[in-house]
Amino acid sequence: MRIQATQATQVAHVVLCATVTVVVACAGDSESDSSFITLSGYTNNELGDGDGDGETGDGDGDDDPSTTGDGDGDGDPTTGDGDGDTTTTGDGDGDIPINPDDMIDNFEDGDGALIPNNGRQGYWYTFNDATEGATQTPAADVVLPESGGAAGTSMAMHTTGSGFAEWGAGIGIDLNNAGDPEGGSGIKMIHDASGFTGIALMAKGNGQVRAAVQIEATVPPEEGGTCEMDCDPHGKVLLLSDEWQQFTLPFAQLNQEGWGTPAAWDAAKVVGIQFKVAKDTNFDFWVDEIGFY
């Protein structure tokens, strides 16, 4: 029986040697186990799962094969955005398609208005804290897209600026604003987005931009909302780079910054979208292919 066991061990070693590319030595007894180089999770002649412990795991970082992880590396089986921080987005995977009817704007028409799908109407605008000597392009009265869109498209919205020292600057679009025939900004009316999970968009630029989705409760009365003071919209921070990336704004993950009047999120009363940079920032960023998903 001892001879049979030794022969079985030798056979196992031969098979293992045949499956491992780099081998230091293959001996004929069980004491030669340490002569094998461990590759890709092989430990003590056992097949591993690649996590370094020689046991089967589920990839959630908690060494418990009975629990399911979400692969975001935080040890929490709840859904994350892939970067380990649910307050920011920046996975750049570009894999969420937008149906044509759900596209808010792709700028291919070259004008300053959004695509009039499903009752939406509105115009792009710039905004800033009016610091003396600060600059922002495009000018407030001519907000049009520029050449050089994402994913091989022709046009995108682009803004640059510097010198804003109070609270910053940005660009925005209302989703239900017919405008003012006399040249004013018009009234921001609500658009029901409760049938969607969130908003997806492409963006690139320097630094970071906060993407905010305004609702009626975070817009002041003179603009059509119900916020009496310190209007703090729900949003997320986008970490930009020189390359186009797709970012998502899941409604369930949007939060107020905490400095203003608290307001409960309500996707049935969405008013508009803003992209804002902080004060004392030299900014240069683009947005494109914006739509609901």
Task: Kindly report, residue by residue over 178-237, the tens digit of the pLDDT.
Answer: 987 666 789 999 999 999 999 999 999 999 999 999 999 999 999 999 999 999 999 999
C-alpha span between 134 and 273 (Å, rounded): 23
Mean pLDDT of all residues in the chain? 78
Within the chain, what is the greatest distance between any pair of CA atoms?
101
Give the count of beta carbons closer than 10 Å to the beta carbon of residue 212. Answer: 23
With beta carbons less than 8 A apart as the criterion, state whether 254 and 89 touch.
no
pLDDT exceeds 60 at position 82: no
Residue type, 59: G
- 123 burial via Cβ count (<10 Å: 0-12, 13-18, 19+): middle
Q: How many CB atoms lie within 10 A of CB 125?
A: 19
CB 162 within 8 A of CB 174: no
What would the pLDDT profile of 144-184 be if each residue is shown by its tens digit? Answer: 999 999 999 999 999 999 999 999 999 999 999 998 766 67
**Predicted local distance difference test score (pLDDT) of residue 168:** 98
As a whole number, mean pLDDT of residues 75-83 equals 41
For residues 25-50, give the mean pLDDT.
35
pLDDT of 85 above 60: no
The pLDDT of residue 183: 65
- Write down the domain spans for the chain: 89-292
Residues 6+ apart with CB under 8 A from 150: 156, 202, 204, 244, 286, 288, 289
Torsions phi, psi of 274, nearest 5?
-130, 145
Asked whether the whole model's pTM tops 0.75, one would answer no
Angle (CA) 217 179 284, round 5°:
75
pLDDT the model gives residue 287? 98
Region 25-41: mean pLDDT is 35
Please give the pLDDT value at position 180.
78
For residue 77, the model assigns a pLDDT of: 40
Q: Could you tell me the CATH superfamily of domain 89-292?
A: Galactose-binding lectin (2.60.120.430)
Quick one: what percent of the chain has pLDDT higher than 70?
67
235-254 residue pLDDT tens = 999 999 999 999 999 999 99
